[in-house]
C-alpha cells in the first residue's frame, strides 16, 4: 500500500495534510477515485472554528471531482472515467434514494464523516478517496473536460447544487421577488439558481464589496448591506412594503434565519440550506400567522448534478467564478485561513 | 335600533348569549347579514379553556352562513343573497388578498376580534353580523340552498377549508401516504381533503371511537390509536418503515406537532393548521437533516370556498357530517360544554 496525503482535522484551527495509507477496494461496489480538484466549504469552518467539536482527528473535505482509478467487481463505472461526486455517498437503491433524498440514504454518509454503518469515510481534501456505492454516488461525464471547466464542475459537488436546492425549496418562480441571505459561495450560487429559475428581482444581502460585485454579475438586481431590522426594512422598501415571495437562507445562524423569515411576505417561501449553527429558530407563531412555507435541508445534490450539468457544459451557467483563489493541496492550511478570515470567497485546491 | 342576541365570552368557561344593539351599516362597503347557521370551533375552546386569556368581554364565534339583509352604497351583493363567510373579513383588493392570502389582508381581521384598524368585529354566534368589505369577504350562492345542504355549506366557513389547506400545504399528491394528526372537525375534514386530492393511504390518528368511525367513512384507510413514540412506530410500521409522504397537523400542540413531524419520511411535507397553543416547536435540526417541508397557517379559506363549493353542491363532498350535534343558539353555553368535554365533534347552532 502506497501512502497518500489527506487533510486531517486534529482540533479547532488545526488542519494538516497528513500521510495516511492509500485507500483500497474493500467491497465489490467500491471505486477508488484520483482527485483532480477539491475545495474548502463554509461548513468545514464550523469544525475549524470549533463551533462543531472535533473529538478525535478525522479526514475533512467533502467536495471533489476526479477520475476513477480502480473499481470493485460490481461497479459499472469504468476506470478512467471523469466523475463528479456529491458531498455524500448513496446506494442509489434504497427508498430514500428512490425518493430523490440521496442525503438520507439508508447506507450513505458524508465524506469525512461516518456511513450509516459506522464506517469512517475518506475526506475529499486528499489525493485519493474510496467511494462506496460508486454507481449510486458518482455522476460520470462522457469525456474528460477542459481544464477551464473544472471550477464550475467542482461546484456541482456541493455549492451550486445547494444554492439550487435553496431556490427550489424557496419556490422561486418566474418573475418572483427573491431575497438571498448569505454572500458565501452557496448564497452566490443561490443567486445564479434564482436567476436561472426566472426570478424577477433578486436582492442580495451582502456587506463585502467583492461579493457584492460577484452577486451583481450573477444576477442580483439589488444589494442590501444593512442587517437586522434595518436590513428587513430596506428589503421591504425595495419591494413596495410587502416583502419577498421567496427567501434563500444560506448561512445557518439565528440572525440569518430571522432575516430571511422577516423579509418574506405573507404566503412567502423560505428555502434554508445553511447548516444550522448558532441556534437558528423557526418561530411557529410567526410562520403560522404569515402562512409561510419553510423547506430546507441537506441538498440532495446528486440529481441536481444531472439537472445542472448541461447548463454548465454549454457555458450558460458559470458557478466556478465563486472560486476566487486557487492553491495547491499542499497549502490546505492556508486555504482554511483564507476562508476563515473571509479574504477568499472559496478556495479551489489541486492535489 | 332593535337589540339582537350575540354570544359574548366574559371569561374562561363563561360564554353567554347577551342582548346587544343590532349592527348597522357604517361604511359604504358594509353589509348586514342575518345568520342562518353558525357553530362552535375547536379554536374557540382556547379562550373558553383559558389557554388564551380573555381581558374583557368580547363577541365570539367566527363561522357563519346567512342571508344579506342590508348593504352599503358601494356593495355589489344584493339583499336577499345567500352567502358563506370565511372566518375573517378581507378587502379583496390589497396585495395580500391579490396573492390569495386573505387572512393577511391589510384591513381585515377575524370575527369576534379586531380589524387591522383596531375596530371590534362582531361575533358569528349571533343573530346578525356587520360585514365590512362585504364584496371582498362574502361568497354568494346563486340560489338559496336546501336545508339539508346547510351543514356542509357551513363547514366551508372554516373547517373544510382549513382541512383542505392542511392537505395542500402537506403537498398531498395522488397515491401519497398521508398521516392526519387530530380527530377534531378539522382533522376529519383533512381526511376528506386528502382523499379528494387522491391520497393512496390515509392514516388517521384517533383514540375516540365515534371519530374513528367517521374518519373511516371519510376515507381513512387505517386508524392509529397510540400516541407519542408508539404512535410514530405504528405509523412507520404501516408504511414499510419509511414514514409518510405528507402529514396534516390539525391540533396545534407540542405533542401533535412532534407526532406529525416524526411520522414523516425524509423529504416529506408537513401541513400545519392547528392554531398554535401549548408551545409547539419546529425543530430546525430535525427538519434540516430530514429535508422536510413545513407549511401552514391560518387557512385563506375564501378561495377554497369557491374551489370546494361545486363538490359540495353536487354531493360528492359531504363535510357537514362533522356536525354530530345541533342546538338552538339559545343553548350556546351547552354547545361549548359539549365541545369542551368532547361529547360532540362539532355543534351546529341555529339562531
User: Are residues B208 and B275 both part of a single domain?
Assistant: yes
pLDDT > 90? residue B281: no
Give alpha helix (H) positions in chain A: 44-48, 95-98, 134-137, 150-155, 159-169, 185-196, 209-218, 228-238, 254-262, 284-290, 301-313, 332-340
User: Are residues A145 and A285 both part of a single domain?
Assistant: no
Q: Are the C-beta atoms of B151 and B320 separated by less than 8 Å?
A: yes
Could you say which of B264, B279, B296 is where a domain stops? B296
Q: Which residues of chain A have pLDDT under 50?
A: 1
User: Are residues B135 and B190 both part of a single domain?
Assistant: no
Residue ranges of B 27-56 with Cβ closer than 8 A to chain A:
none
B293 contacts A300? CB cut-off 8 A = no
CATH of residue B314: 3.90.180.10
| Domains in chain A, number | 2
- Which residues, listed in sequence order, are joined to residue B130 by a DSSP beta bridge? B32
Q: Give ∠ CA B147-B151-B157 in degrees, rounded to 5.
A: 125
B293-296/B347-350 β-pairing: unpaired
pLDDT > 80? residue B94: yes
Could you say which of B274, B296, B318 is where a domain stops? B296
What's the CA gap between B317 and B308, in Å, rounded? 8
Q: Give ∠ CA A51-A54-A59 in degrees, rounded to 5.
A: 115
pLDDT > 70? residue B215: yes
Looking at residue A123, the DSSP 8-state letter turns out to be P
pLDDT at residue A277, as a whole number: 82
User: Are residues A237 and A249 both part of a single domain?
Assistant: yes
A242 contacts B95? CB cut-off 8 A = yes
Q: Are the C-beta atoms of A302 and A90 separated by less than 8 Å?
A: yes
User: Are residues A275 and A140 both part of a single domain?
Assistant: no
Contacts of B272 in chain A (CB under 8 A): 284, 288
What's the CA gap between A258 and B152, in Å, rounded? 41
pLDDT at residue B2, as a whole number: 61
Q: Is A295 on the interface with B (CB under 8 A)?
A: yes
Which H or E run contains B95?
helix B95-98
What ipTM did this prediction achieve? 0.92
B285 contacts A276? CB cut-off 8 A = yes
Q: List the one residue out of B293, B36, B31 whose CA is nearest residue B149.
A: B36
pLDDT at residue B249, as a whole number: 97
Cell numbers that stand for B6 in this block: 350575540
SS3 content of chain B, % helix, strand, coil (to 5): 30, 25, 40
pLDDT > 60? residue B302: yes
Contacts of B242 in chain A (CB under 8 A): 95-96
DSSP letter string over A320-340? GGG--EEEEGGGHHHHHHHHH
pLDDT at residue A2, as a whole number: 61
pLDDT at residue B276, as a whole number: 87
Q: Are the C-beta atoms of A208 and A225 separated by less than 8 Å?
A: no
Q: Are the C-beta atoms of B245 and B178 separated by less than 8 Å?
A: yes
> Where does the pLDDT of residue B26 fall: very low under 50, low under 70, confident under 90, or very high at 90 and above?
very high
CATH of residue B201: 3.40.50.720
* Chain position carrying cell 452566490: A188
Q: Where are the beta strands (DSSP E) in B135-282?
A: 139-140, 177-181, 201-205, 222-224, 244-249, 264-272
User: Are residues A151 and A14 both part of a single domain?
Assistant: yes
User: Are residues B196 and B309 both part of a single domain?
Assistant: no
Tens of pLDDT along B117-135?
999 999 999 999 999 999 9
User: Are residues B130 and B63 both part of a single domain?
Assistant: yes
What's the CA gap between A315 and A335, in Å, rounded? 27
What's the CA gap between B235 and B212, in Å, rounded? 16
User: Are residues A32 and A149 both part of a single domain?
Assistant: yes
User: Are residues B152 and B8 both part of a single domain?
Assistant: yes
Q: Print the domain residue range for A304.
A: 3-158+300-350
User: Are residues A96 and A216 both part of a single domain?
Assistant: no
Residue ranges of B 195-214 with Cβ closer than 8 A to chain A:
none
Mean pLDDT of chain B: 96
Helix axes B254-262, B228-238, angle to 10 degrees: 30
pLDDT at residue B251, as a whole number: 92
pLDDT at residue B332, as a whole number: 98
User: Are residues A131 and A7 both part of a single domain?
Assistant: yes
Q: How far is B271 from chain A (nearest CA, A)?
A: 9
> What's the alpha-carbon Rg for chain B, to the nearest Å?
20
> Where does the pLDDT of residue B270 fall: very low under 50, low under 70, confident under 90, or very high at 90 and above?
very high
Among the partner-chain residues A242, A293, A298, the one whose CB lies closest to the CB of B291 is A298
How many other CB atoms sit within 10 Å of the CB of residue B313?
A: 16
A296 contacts B267? CB cut-off 8 A = no
Could you say which of B280, B296, B312 is where a domain stops? B296
pLDDT at residue A280, as a whole number: 87
B282 contacts A282? CB cut-off 8 A = yes
Query: Distances in Å between the alpha carbon of B326 and those of B187, B313, B347, B349, B351?
Result: 20, 21, 5, 6, 11
What's the CA gap between B289 and B137, in Å, rounded? 41
Which H or E run contains B70?
strand B64-71
What's the CA gap between B174 and B178, in Å, rounded? 10
Cell numbers that stand for A142 in this block: 462522457
pLDDT at residue B44, as a whole number: 94
Q: Are the C-beta atoms of A293 and B169 separated by less than 8 Å?
A: yes
B290 contacts A104? CB cut-off 8 A = yes
B282 contacts A298? CB cut-off 8 A = no
Q: Are the C-beta atoms of B164 and B187 separated by less than 8 Å?
A: no
Amino acid at each position: 500500500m502506497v501512502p497518500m496525503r489527506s487533510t486531517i482535522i486534529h482540533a479547532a484551527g488545526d488542519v494538516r495534510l497528513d500521510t495516511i495509507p492509500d485507500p483500497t477496494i474493500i467491497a465489490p461496489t467500491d471505486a477508488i477515485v484520483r482527485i483532480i480538484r477539491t475545495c474548502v466549504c463554509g461548513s468545514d469552518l464550523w469544525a475549524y472554528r470549533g463551533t462543531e467539536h472535533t473529538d478525535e482527528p478525522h479526514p475533512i473535505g467533502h467536495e471533489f471531482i476526479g477520475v476513477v482509478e480502480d473499481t470493485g467487481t460490481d461497479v459499472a463505472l469504468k476506470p478512467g472515467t471523469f466523475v463528479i461526486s456529491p458531498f455524500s455517498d448513496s446506494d442509489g437503491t434504497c427508498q430514500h434514494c428512490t425518493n430523490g433524498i440521496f442525503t438520507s440514504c439508508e447506507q450513505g454518509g458524508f465524506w469525512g464523516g461516518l456511513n450509516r454503518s459506522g464506517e469512517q469515510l475518506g475526506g475529499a481534501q486528499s489525493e485519493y478517496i474510496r467511494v462506496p456505492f460508486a454507481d449510486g454516488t458518482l455522476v460520470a461525464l462522457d469525456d474528460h473536460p477542459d481544464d477551464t471547466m473544472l471550477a464550475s464542475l467542482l461546484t456541482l459537488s456541493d455549492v451550486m447544487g445547494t444554492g439550487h436546492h435553496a431556490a427550489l425549496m424557496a419556490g422561486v418562480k418566474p418573475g418572483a421577488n427573491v431575497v438571498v441571505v448569505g454572500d458565501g459561495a452557496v448564497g452566490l450560487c443561490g443567486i445564479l439558481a434564482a436567476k436561472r429559475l426566472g426570478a424577477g428581482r433578486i436582492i442580495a444581502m451582502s456587506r463585502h464589496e467583492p461579493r457584492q460585485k460577484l452577486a451583481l454579475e450573477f444576477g442580483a438586481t439589488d444589494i442590501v448591506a444593512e442587517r437586522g431590522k434595518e436590513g428587513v426594512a430596506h428589503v421591504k422598501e425595495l419591494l413596495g412594503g410587502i416583502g419577498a415571495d421567496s427567501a434563500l437562507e444560506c448561512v445557518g445562524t439565528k440572525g440569518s434565519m430571522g432575516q430571511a423569515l422577516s423579509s418574506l411576505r405573507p404566503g412567502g417561501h423560505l428555502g434554508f440550506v445553511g447548516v444550522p449553527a448558532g441556534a437558528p429558530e423557526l418561530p411557529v407563531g410567526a410562520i403560522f400567522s404569515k402562512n409561510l412555507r419553510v423547506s430546507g435541508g441537506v441538498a440532495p445534490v446528486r440529481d441536481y448534478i444531472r439537472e445542472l450539468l448541461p447548463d454548465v457544459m454549454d457555458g450558460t451557467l458559470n458557478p466556478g467564478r465563486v472560486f476566487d483563489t486557487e492553491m495547491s493541496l499542499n497549502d490546505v492550511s492556508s486555504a482554511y485561513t483564507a476562508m476563515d478570515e473571509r479574504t477568499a470567497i472559496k478556495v479551489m485546491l489541486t492535489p
